[in-house]
Structure 1
Amino acid sequence: MSHLRYVPTEFGQIAYREDGAGDGLPLLLCQRFRGTIDDWDPAFFAPLSEHRRVIRFDSAGIGGSGGSVPPTIEAMGHVAIAFLDALQISRADLLGWSLGGIVAQHAALQAPHRFRRVIIAGSGPGGAAEGPAPHPKVREVMAHPHNGPDDFLFLFFHDSETSRTAGRNCLRRLAGAGQTVPPVSGPGFIGQLKAIAADTGVRERLADLAMPLLVANGVHDVMIPAFRSYLIAQSAPAAKLILYPDAGHAFLFQYADEFASEINRFLSEV
């Protein structure tokens, strides 16, 4: 496991890990709701770091970072930019998963000159009343004080033996990698929930996301239905959409090699 590092920002001390190297632009990873830097499946980020510098970080008030969870997702975007400032990184590629995907859209709109290419995984633009709704059990399961293996499989993988087997394999890899930063605290959990509830989304601004976008999801995502990913691809002018079969919210871990290869191709394009 890569060394845990810290850097001070105006939002508090930010915890992060770096993997890989190279002279190209680094890839910044924005994590999901209730996730920390140690909740990225190594099967996914390891093939990314073979080609470039990959940076995982905990936003303010989450995991190993100090400070408090910002009151809005828009402000979480400012944390990501302040973190890049603290590392003296003037330009980067950006990947956001789930809540991190919404953060990534806000950050890319706030400072489009800072991000060359953006990957949005298992996310949506907000502000979408039409289309499929999340599974009715999602809110109840997400509210559990601790999400055990059964909750994890329900929220992140499709209800098929193939997908659930992939989910159990993912859990074993995460357990083997170890958890060295604290899990998301009660106040952090509540802060994220409040920020999500307050967010009005960026749907009306998607046309301003002019940089190349790679948008992806699993076709059976129970939390953020794949239709929301389609909405991003429909309105952002340079977006490409990929949907993965027999997969849910954690399609990027179920199809780790395939999606990492897709990302590597996308980031290598001129």
Structure 2
Amino acid sequence: MVARAGAGAGPAVVFLHGGGPGASGWSNWRLALEALGDRYDCIAPDYVGYGESTHPEPPPTDMRVWTRMRLDQVIGMLDALEIERAHLVGNSLGGALTLHLLMEAPERFERAVLMGTAGGPSSDRPSQELIRMVTFYSDPSPEALGRLYSWFVHDPDDFDGDLDQIAQDRFAMTMRDDVRRSYVAQFSGPSQLTLPDSALRRIQHPILLVHGRDDMINPVSDSYHFLKVLPNAQLYVFGRCGHWTQLEYPQRFNHLVDEFLRGAL
């Protein structure tokens, strides 16, 4: 499944979604696709193991295997769409995949935005909120999904949306047998998302790091680390913002992405 807006409108931008239960290309990036589809060819796939994409049976239990399948999936998608080069925008798990893509196929990509990206130093000491996310299926319910989503934002009372309704809308997808099987399998073994600093220092692409100051899933300190080691990176921190920058501050986020991809930042 690939959500797409603005085919042929401008440079291609691949949006890579996060790794929470119920995540998909459309659910993570709907507002960005709607805002940027008049200027860019916006493409947001569901990863292998998420949403309407392929669900291997039996599923691998090593994140390295899932990562390899997803990297091949993105490159294969670009080949199928006859897109030679694209920008990347990655959220959380999608940020980690973005870094892997920049390292493995640098010639296929131009600029990259990493939002609340995973794979930083905190991977060795995950937050309780992140642990609850990856073990969601130990006790799944719409209420538990709503509580989890409340940790993705700075202040649920200030969030311009209904987190309980979002949880209700996504819960049926999370409880599909294939979706549940893939999710449990990918987080049952080694994570192995982190790239060594020696690899990060070789990535020459212009990179915009975007992070919520109050992110409880992947702390903002991870982006400060990436800022130190990525040669051509800059960082923008949103105050009073959690893990869902693209949903908490959609207008500002989409404007920032547009400015950066145009080379105005």
Q: TM-score, normalised by structure 2?
A: 0.82
**RMSD of aligned C-alpha atoms?**
2.7
Q: 1:206 matched to which residue of 2?
A: 200
Residue in 2 that maps onto 1:152 = 149
Aligned to 1:50: 38
Structure 2 counterpart of 1:267: 261
Farther off after superposition, 260-269 or 142-151 = 142-151
Identity %: 23
Q: Does 1:29 align with 2:2?
A: no
1:90 counterpart SS class: coil
Which of residues 104, 111, 115 is equivalent to 2:105? 111
Quote the residue 1:63 is aligned against: 51
Task: Please give the secondary structure, in 2, of the residue aligned with 1:208.
Answer: coil
> What CA distance in whole angstroms lies between the structure 1 residues aligned with 2:24 and 2:133?
19
Distance 1:196 1:79 in 2: 21
CA deviations over 1:72-115 (Å, ceiling 9, x no partner)? 16412232112212222111111110001001110111100100
Name the TM-score, length of structure 1 as normaliser. Answer: 0.80
C-alpha contact (below 8 Å) 2:9/2:38 kept by paired residues: no
Q: Which amino acid aligns with 1:138?
A: L
Residues 260-269 or 64-73, more deviating? 64-73
- Tell me which amino acid in the other structure corresponds to 1:122: G
**Count of residues in Structure 1 that have an aligned counterpart in Structure 2:** 247
- 2: CA distance, partners of 1:137 / 1:55: 29
Moved more, 34-43 or 90-99: 34-43
Query: Are the equivalent residues in 2 in contact too, given 1:170–1:254 (CA < 8 A)?
Result: no
Residues 196 and 114 from structure 1, CA distance in 2 versus in 1: closer, same or farther, beyond 3 angstroms?
farther
Choose 206-215 or 82-91, whichever is displaced more. Answer: 82-91
Match for residue 143 of structure 1 among 128, 135, 142: 135
Q: What letter matches 1:157 in structure 2?
A: V
How far, CA to CA, are the matches of 1:233 and 1:121 in structure 2? 13
Give the distance between the partners of 1:149 and 1:211, measured in 2 at CA.
Answer: 37
Residues 82 and 196 of structure 1, relative CA distance in 2, 3 Å threshold: farther
Q: 1-side partners of 2:114 and 2:129: how far apart?
A: 24
- SS of 1:185's equivalent in the other structure is helix
Q: Are the equivalent residues in 2 in contact too, given 1:127–1:203 (CA < 8 A)?
A: no
